[in-house]
Amino acid sequence: MKNIITVITACSTMSIASAAMAVEVAGDLLHVYGKIHVSIDNSNTDGLNDDTYQDGISVSSNSSRLGFKGQYEQVIYQIEQEVRIDDSSKGSFADRNSYIGLADRWGSLSVGIYDTPFKSLGSEWGIFADTIGDRRAILGAGYQSGNQLNERAKNMIMYQYEDQQSLKIQAMYAVDPEDDGTNAGVVDNNKNDMLSAGLWWTISDLTLSVAYEDWTGHSYILDGKAYRLAAAWTISDHRIGAIYEDIDPGGVNEFSRAAYGVNWRWQFSTDWDLRLQYLAADSAENTSNTGGSNISAGANYKLNKKTNLYMAYTATSNDADARFSAVDGGHGDEVKTVDGGSPSSFSAGMEFSF
């Protein structure tokens, strides 16, 4: 506890590196950063109002985090934890992207825990990250199991090359990528592994991206594959995006489907922007009435350079045999439903980054 207090005291007296939104504690060697993201939501499960999933008001901590990162010559590292500030019943901390590696002009090579390139593509495309409008209600979701294919891979090795002007490449391999700790202290389970790669190419105001993922022994898609294609175009004060996703699971019909989406953000003043997003999933292969769609709308206000305030609304419409959530993914409190349900949620939130 004394060490934590010492770090916090030191942080409060150090200069703010505004570009990185981090506190510089020891030059490039150590930066302390984080985000506190909370919201007050009013949700309707449309039929799943029971002891576990209820309708009504909820206070939610949404992927709030505390991290330490730095670089010493060619060595790079990051240690990041989710911090739950609304409810500690699931534990106060959870692992986020953490690694150690080497970096130079050829790129970087890191080892640890990190979002797969397939997941990262979706995250960079989406405009409602960790809010009730998070794209994971549909993308990477099954019609019964919900969000299952937006993974943060454990035991991963990743190469990344980034040209600040136009090109980013990621390639990742992980063994036992869903490691749940039951075999801690022994050799990782080599029967389960994952390969993923992604490419982002920016041409003037247009960014095109593609990502691929291949799993052996995934908990939901078994020996399956998936890919995403996305585009984002910025013109004047508008940003327009489109995405396509296809999942080919190993004999699991629930995830054997395509999904797609479009979104739009309008920065109509220095401090205000409006956002709109639509996502849809087709019925799964060899089934009918298992598709669903989600629409989200919101307004964001930049209170200051570290704080955003927002209001958002999201609603999901399901076919008769589907139960895609209204809220899934990085938002702390999910909003599930019953088969054929039309769940929805309204939210007022605040994000403070440092």
Residue pLDDT, tens place only, 57-97: 999 999 999 999 999 999 999 999 999 999 866 667 889 99
CB-CB contact of 298 with 274 (8 Å): yes
Is pLDDT above 70 for 48? yes
* % of the chain at pLDDT higher than 70: 92
Residue 7, pLDDT score: 37
Residue 3, pLDDT score: 42
Segment (H or E) for 11:
helix 2-13
Give the least confident one: 135-144, 183-192, 197-206: 183-192
User: Which tens digit of pLDDT belongs to each residue from 231-261?
Assistant: 999 999 999 999 999 999 988 899 999 999 9
Residue 51, pLDDT score: 79
Give the least confident one: 15-19, 31-35, 143-147: 15-19
106 DSSP β-pair partners: none
**The dihedral sign for the CA sequence 120, 126, 132, 138:** negative
User: Which tens digit of pLDDT belongs to each residue from 156-165?
Assistant: 999 999 998 8
Give the least confident one: 43-52, 112-121, 274-283: 43-52
CB-CB contact of 313 with 291 (8 Å): no
Mean pLDDT along residues 164-178: 95
Is pLDDT above 90 for 322? yes
Residue 90, pLDDT score: 65
Q: How far apart are the first and last CA of the chain?
A: 21
pLDDT band, very low/low/confident/very high, at 21 (cuts 50, 70, 90): low
Report helix, strand or coil for 180: coil
- Name the average pLDDT for the chain: 92
Residue 5, pLDDT score: 37
CB-CB contact of 332 with 61 (8 Å): yes
Residue 9, pLDDT score: 39
Buried b (16+ CB within 10 A) or exposed e, 113-129: bbbbbbbbbbbbbbbbb
Is pLDDT above 60 for 20? no
Residue 296, pLDDT score: 99
User: Which tens digit of pLDDT belongs to each residue from 211-229?
Assistant: 999 999 999 999 999 999 9
Give the least confident one: 93-97, 98-102, 147-151, 183-187: 183-187
The answer to whether the pTM exceeds 0.85 is yes
Ordered by where they begin, the domains of the chain are: 2-353 (2.40.160.10)
Is pLDDT above 80 for 15? no
Buried b (16+ CB within 10 A) or exposed e, 245-278: bebbbeebebbbbbbbbebebbbeeeeebebbbe
Mean pLDDT along residues 181-202: 92
How many angstroms separate the Cα of 250 from the Cα of each of 108, 144, 214, 289?
32, 17, 11, 21
Is pLDDT above 80 for 1? no
Mean pLDDT along residues 14-40: 75
133 DSSP β-pair partners: none
Segment (H or E) for 119:
helix 117-125
